[in-house]
Structure 1
Amino acid sequence: MLQRLRSRDVVKMFRTAAQTFSVASLPRRVLLITLRHFCNKAPRKLRVAELLSGTGLEANVQVQGWVRSVRSQKANLFVDVNDGSCLQSLQIVASPELNDPLLTFGSAVEVRGILKKSLHPKQAVELEAEHIHVVGECNPLDFPFKIKERHTLEYIRQFPHLRGRTNAFGSLLRIRGEATWALHSYFKENGFAHIHTPIITSNDCEGAGELFQIEPSYPQNSQDENFFSVPAYLTVSGQLHLEVMTGSFSKVYTFGPTFRAENSQSRRHLAEFYMVEAEVAFTRTIEDLTEVMEDMFKRTTEHVLDCCARDVDLFHTHVTPGHRDAVEAMLKERFHVLTYSEAINILQRSTQTFAFPTNWGCDLKTEHEKYLVKHCGTRPVFVTDYPYRLKPFYTRDNRDHPRHTAAAVDLLVPGVGELCGGSLREERLDLLRARLEEVGLEDTYSWYLDLRRFGSVSHGGFGMGFERYLQCILGVDNIKDVIPFPRFSHSCLL
């Protein structure tokens, strides 16, 4: 029971008890010394974020982390320790006798002492150390990150095994974690069921052929060439599996890794990335989907700005100065909506020279997407009703449209281009069968036709690239700087 109490509460309790002892009892001083010894043996282990909030004030506590700076003065030793729980470090104040040659920038330490209010205006508390133990030493001369030096994202990207120790990437990881939690919370609050869609699949949802095929690393004893009896691949999307679930759930979503075998070194593409995907049953209009996309974007971003204020501010101050204003403007205004035909007209009237064609029927490239966002006042833009032939087999055919278009939508955002892609799905069995026959996939997707034969309903969905979302709200130029371990062509470190 004593270990559950704060040290000062236990001291108060024993003082009261000691006052009632008779002359024959142990001296009160002995009892207090014994109690103090007990408390020192069992310090309360807390994270830096908890200590900075004032938790454990005046108590005997222990903190574990990594040294961010060491300043040795005649009267005191000052050590800043961070454990990744927040951007700010905890200042340790100690006697010079506790200094250790191994106590250097980057070393791992355990510190025990009493948490006190600080007299310094820039910090609320500090830890008066009674014991400092260097758990893991670090030679600061060999360590690639230098004390008090602000390294670029491009530089720290060279050290994926160490870059989590920098302020910038530590902040990124906390933002990434909070955004993940916010997205899950958004879908839960809005009645979506979370589905774990498979990473190994036998279908190519996008139909672009950019697949990583899976094969066992050891020789097969059977005559069958394939481990799964059919060719298997790393998933490019969980959409088709979510569509299966819309046969019994009205709202479903998934959030996990997806893979594209794109031979690209661009700032917008990865071979492995995370995607948020949702499907909604009993929906008949693109507006039903765009409302969810916009609401999800704004609610998630508001949560991140509120809960990770210091971490986001680091990016908006030192990495992308002024980007905070752009993010807040996106949250205040309704997203703009253009049809594909309107977008093409805007591009054709532009005085800007584009590398790719802008005639009706062409696919929109990154340069087109960024121009359209800028044209609309640097706010996000929904582009709807793309040419039917540009979209995959599952996209709903707008048969009543003057031009042959599909009920598809892309969300374009400043600095990134396409963030979300979605569509209504073709629920009409005859049209879907004809389309699959046209592309030679009727046998492969016979199960997909079954979904339309047994209780089919109108439905639609979308996917959002999680890394591109982080690029958008933080203003980070390269997608490789918003994922812990980037995978792209000719690079698979760790």
Structure 2
Amino acid sequence: MFINLIKRKISTASLSEIFKKCNIDQQIKVRGWVKTTRIMKDVIFCDINDGSTGQNLQLVCNKTQKSKLIFGSSIEAKGLLSQTPKGQLEVKVDEIKVIGDCPTQNYPYVARTLYSSEYIRENLHFRSRVSSFNSMIRCRHQLTNIINNYLFNEGFIQIHTPILTSNDCEGAGEVFIVKPDNDDLLKIMKKNKDDPNEKAYFDHKAFLTVSGQLHLEAMAHGLTKVYTFNPAFRAENCKSAVHLSEFYMLELEESFIESLDDVIATITKMFKSVTKEFLDKSIDDVKRINKDNIEERFNWLEKDFKILTYDEAFKIIKENEHKLKTTVNYKDGISKEQEIFLTQDYCKVPCFVIDWPKEQKSFYMRQKKDNMNLVEAFDFLIPQVGEVAGGSVREDNYDILKSKMSSDQSLEWYLNLRKYGSVTTGGFGLGFERYLQYLLDIHSIKDVIPFPRWAHNCQM
């Protein structure tokens, strides 16, 4: 009976809870992975971490426990939570149990060693053992929650848009076709024996979504303010530092929009508010990843964002062509290098490029009434990354939209939105990984997502 009472008094807590509550002189039980050990004359100091915080907890162990304190091993320790003379929390260990041993042979990491992001990326299943990667994941988690809470408070309703879709929203042909990997099933399901396999299951081609925007527009025509936060897929043969084949998109759509200014105001307010809250809540992990020039990197938070027309932006780029490596051509649009030059070197704050030539943008963007060759659209550019979001007012004129659409019947429903109780909608899509990449000053987008997929790479 007495033993059972003692056992009940020993509480199990995450390291995050321990550092927050600081219940000194209490018996506790902790679990985590061994990060480092330091052998002293009389004791062994062992740092463990369970991933709930970037701060390690020091265990004070006797030397008889040395064999259990192997780098990378998962352990459970019981003991008294104490405080060092310098105020650091530590556990004076009475008992240690090895949960999972970690043999050094073939394990990719050793203690007190820094590894390149490329090396860490080679072992995706072990990335969560790297402290800096864990800081990124906690930042990603925090940023996701902040965005969802912000939009909830702003009256936006979350929509789970489909991953499987019958349309290519952007019309660029960069889609992955989906079909069952079962030839017998496809043969049985074909309505016409001459139909291609891609049409056997759904009776038409199906794709992994490149954007949930069109589905959001359908929802906005009855719910007014909607958003989705879903994966998107692009079949691009690109290995750049800002491209992935699978990534997450935050997409907003709002009805009763009057002009592009409304959409720009929405994203500006969100971008500043979310960034401020993120830095307030995640600054410790941000500093663990990169503590250099934080104030300088975010001095734009109290400044106005610049707005340039496409023609103004092109003129600036043309005048500074000697500073750029990429070719400057009006019809080719703005390259990644040119985007970064505009926002980082010229404007020195995030900026919007508006009023694009209609040939360079998607069919659903509304043409300007005073110049039908331009559309009411923007690219939102930020330093280091370039384009992080794109948005527009959607074409609300039935006849104009019909003339811009192909004869493909798969989007007849989209055209009908302009026929029955139509309203003007507008919105944007923001690349979540690019946003996080910028906030954390991480060079490659492949290092801000747990399991990156890009051309010729789809591990696990």
TM-score (norm 2): 0.94
**What's the RMSD between the two structures over aligned residues?**
1.7
Read off the aligned partner of 1:78 and give its amino acid letter. F
Q: Which runs of 5+ in 2 are unaligned?
A: 192-196
- State the partner residue of 1:478: 444
1:309 maps to 2:279? no
Q: Is the 8 A contact 1:356 1:365 kept in 2?
A: yes
Read off the aligned partner of 1:285 and give its amino acid letter. S
- State the partner residue of 2:392: 423
Read off the aligned partner of 1:279 and give its amino acid letter. E
Once the two structures are superposed, what CA deviation does each residue of 1:4-57 show, in whole Å capped at 9, x if it has no partner? xxxxxxxxxxxxxxxxxxxxxxxxxxxxxx646622355211001111223443
- State the partner residue of 1:119: 85
The 5 Å alignment of 1:270-285 reads 270-285=244-259
1:364 maps to 2:334? yes
The 5 Å alignment of 1:215-364 reads 215-219=179-183, 220=185, 221-224=188-191, 225=197, 226-317=200-291, 321-322=292-293, 324-352=294-322, 354-364=324-334
Q: Which runs of 5+ in 1 are unaligned?
A: 1-33
* Structure 1 Cα separation of the partners of residues 321 and 160 of structure 2: 47
1:83 maps to 2:28? no
The 5 Å alignment of 1:411-450 reads 411-436=380-405, 439-441=406-408, 443-450=409-416
How many residue pairs were aligned? Answer: 450
Shift in Å at residue 399 of structure 1?
Answer: 3.2
* Structure 1 Cα separation of the partners of residues 435 and 386 of structure 2: 11
Q: Is the 8 A contact 1:102 1:138 kept in 2?
A: no
- Which segment is superposed worse, 67-76 or 185-194? 67-76
Read off the aligned partner of 1:349 and give its amino acid letter. E
SS at match of 2:286: helix
* Structure 1 Cα separation of the partners of residues 107 and 300 of structure 2: 40
Read off the aligned partner of 1:251 and give its amino acid letter. K
* Structure 2 Cα separation of the partners of residues 449 and 92 of structure 1: 65
* Structure 1 Cα separation of the partners of residues 271 and 295 of structure 2: 16
Shift in Å at residue 134 of structure 1?
Answer: 0.7
* Structure 2 Cα separation of the partners of residues 351 and 344 of structure 1: 10
Cα pair distance change 1:44/1:229, threshold 3 Å: same
Shift in Å at residue 59 of structure 1?
Answer: 2.1
Which is greater in Rg?
1
Shift in Å at residue 152 of structure 1?
Answer: 2.2
Shift in Å at residue 306 of structure 1?
Answer: 1.3
* Structure 2 Cα separation of the partners of residues 416 and 468 of structure 1: 7
Shift in Å at residue 71 of structure 1?
Answer: 2.0
* Structure 1 Cα separation of the partners of residues 173 and 349 of structure 2: 33
- State the partner residue of 2:194: none
SS at match of 1:407: strand
TM-score (norm 1): 0.88
Q: Is the 8 A contact 1:271 1:488 kept in 2?
A: yes
Shift in Å at residue 94 of structure 1?
Answer: 2.3
Shift in Å at residue 118 of structure 1?
Answer: 2.5
Read off the aligned partner of 1:194 and give its amino acid letter. Q
1:382 maps to 2:352? yes
The 5 Å alignment of 1:204-215 reads 204-215=168-179
Q: Is the 8 A contact 2:68 2:96 kept in 1?
A: no
Q: Is the 8 A contact 2:139 2:285 kept in 1?
A: yes
Once the two structures are superposed, what CA deviation does each residue of 1:271-292 show, in whole Å capped at 9, x if it has no partner? 0000100001001111111112
* Structure 2 Cα separation of the partners of residues 90 and 120 of structure 1: 14
Shift in Å at residue 351 of structure 1?
Answer: 4.5
1:130 maps to 2:94? yes
- State the partner residue of 1:153: 117
Shift in Å at residue 72 of structure 1?
Answer: 2.6
* Structure 2 Cα separation of the partners of residues 100 and 133 of structure 1: 12
* Structure 1 Cα separation of the partners of residues 245 and 30 of structure 2: 39
The 5 Å alignment of 1:100-115 reads 100-115=66-81
Once the two structures are superposed, what CA deviation does each residue of 1:174-200 show, in whole Å capped at 9, x if it has no partner? 000000001101100100000000000
* Structure 1 Cα separation of the partners of residues 394 and 363 of structure 2: 9
SS at match of 1:248: helix
Shift in Å at residue 359 of structure 1?
Answer: 3.8
Read off the aligned partner of 1:316 and give its amino acid letter. N
* Structure 1 Cα separation of the partners of residues 273 and 114 of structure 2: 32
Shift in Å at residue 210 of structure 1?
Answer: 0.4
